[in-house]
Each structure stands twice: as C-alpha cells, then as structure tokens.
Amino acid sequence: MLLIPAIDLKDSLCVRLKQGDMDQSTIFSDDPAAMARSWVDKGARRLHLVDLNGAFAGKPKNEAAIKRILAEVGSEIDVQLGGGIRDLDTIERYLDAGLRYVIIGTAAVKNPGFLQDACTAFGGHIIVGLDAKDGRVATDGWSKLTGHEVVDLGKKFQDYGVESIVYTDIGRDGMLSGINIEATVRLAQALTIPVIASGGLSSMADIEALCAVEDEGIDGVICGRSIYNGNLDFAAAQARADELNG
C-alpha cells in the first residue's frame, strides 16, 4: 500500500481545502518545493500534486510551482498531477519536465475522445481521477454532479488503457471522516487496473483497513489534511503499511 502525500496548489501556495471549497483553504506552506522535499525525506515514494486554480480555470495555473517541485524531487520519485489538464500539448509539456503521471478528471468525463487520444499518445502515463458523491461522478472542481455512475465510467476508461484510477469521495475530502472503504472496494472489484483511494483519510485505522482490502485492487491512498495537521504520522503510517502488506 503506497501512501501518497498530496500537495494542493492555490496561488503557488501549498493548501488544503474542505470538500473542494476554494473559500475554505488552509495554507500549510509558501514553498511547495520544500514541502515536496520534506515528504521525500520522510519516505514518500510518490507525490500527488493538484493545480486547484487550474481545476477551476480549465487550464494550468500553477505551472511554475509544479516545475520547481519536479526540479527538486522529480528525478527521485514518481510525481502525479491533476487539475486543468485539457489538451495533449499540456500533457507533453509536463511529462518533458519530469512528471510521471498525468491525472485527467473533468476532461475524461466531458471529452472521452481526448482521454483516448492521451492514452494512445502517452501510454503508461495516464491516470483518471473519478470524484464522486453518493456514487455519482462530479466535474469542474467538484462543482457539478453528473448522472454518471462511478463503476460504469471506471470500466469505460479502463478499456481506453488508463494506468489506474484515483477515486475520491468528495463528501469526505478534507473532513478527516475516514476513507469510504466500501465504495472504493466496489470500484476496485469491478476493474482490473489499480485504484488509488482518496478523501477523508484520518488515522492509522484507515491505513490498516485499506491494507486489509489491498488484494481487491487498491494499491495506494492519497494523504492530505491528516498528515499536515499531525493526525497521522506519515513515516509511521507508511512503515505500518509495509509491515502489513510488504
């Protein structure tokens, strides 16, 4: 089980939001590259970046900060990025800068042809982000709920050749209310590609619960507010996950 620290970028600052609300942000660092370095030094083997401004604008907005992070740690660990990625040129630019995985969310739902093209052009580098509430997929920085069911879209995108799916329960994100294990397992069981859990991680108990269902196809979890405010010791949690599942 891979624990993946999140670095959410708003106006070039490292922040955390509550349920995706840009007006409810907590600033944790004014130096995202230094924050990335600190997680790597604590044993992170992958980082999860989100361009929050980009997610709402539909185009990259924190590219300079992202490239500083890649320059700092991109040669040492895998880095994945989502938020505002809507065209192949943007994907190529980020991959050339050292990014390992691009996460396509809203554009995958609204423009599946783009996702197919991305998987064809950049096979092995494309992850889909499915953000959902009560089983329905949300888009546009979580501001719009669609009629799409998570499992149906997951199967469709798997057929396109995506590397994995990041599944976020947006009702729990930033709330420290615990991972939605049941919904995450339901998606993972329906797919053959890995699922990365996200939204609500709060304690070591969540890590242990995820490790217990890792064999269902859940191979990672995004760590956000819990590791920033001290609810969860990242290094200890990754060590416990390694102990449980190797």
Q: Are 132 and 167 in contact (CB under 8 A)?
A: yes
Euclidean distance between CA atoms 136 and 106, whole angstroms = 13
- Which of the residues 51, 131, 173, 219 is marked catalytic? 131
Cα 37 to Cα 9, 15, 47, 70, 222, distances in angstroms: 15, 16, 10, 10, 17
- Which of the residues 8, 51, 169, 173 is marked catalytic? 8
Euclidean distance between CA atoms 127 and 20, whole angstroms = 20
Q: Which among 218, 208, 216 is positioned nearest to 241, based on CA atoms?
A: 208
Burial 63-85, CB ≥16 within 10 A → b, else e = bebbbbbbebbbeeebbbbbbbb
Long-range contacts for 138-141 (Cβ within 8 Å, ≥24 apart)?
138/170, 139/105, 139/106, 139/109, 139/110, 140/55, 140/56, 140/106, 141/20, 141/22, 141/52, 141/55, 141/56, 141/106
User: 8 catalytic, yes or no?
Assistant: yes
Which residues are designated catalytic?
8, 131
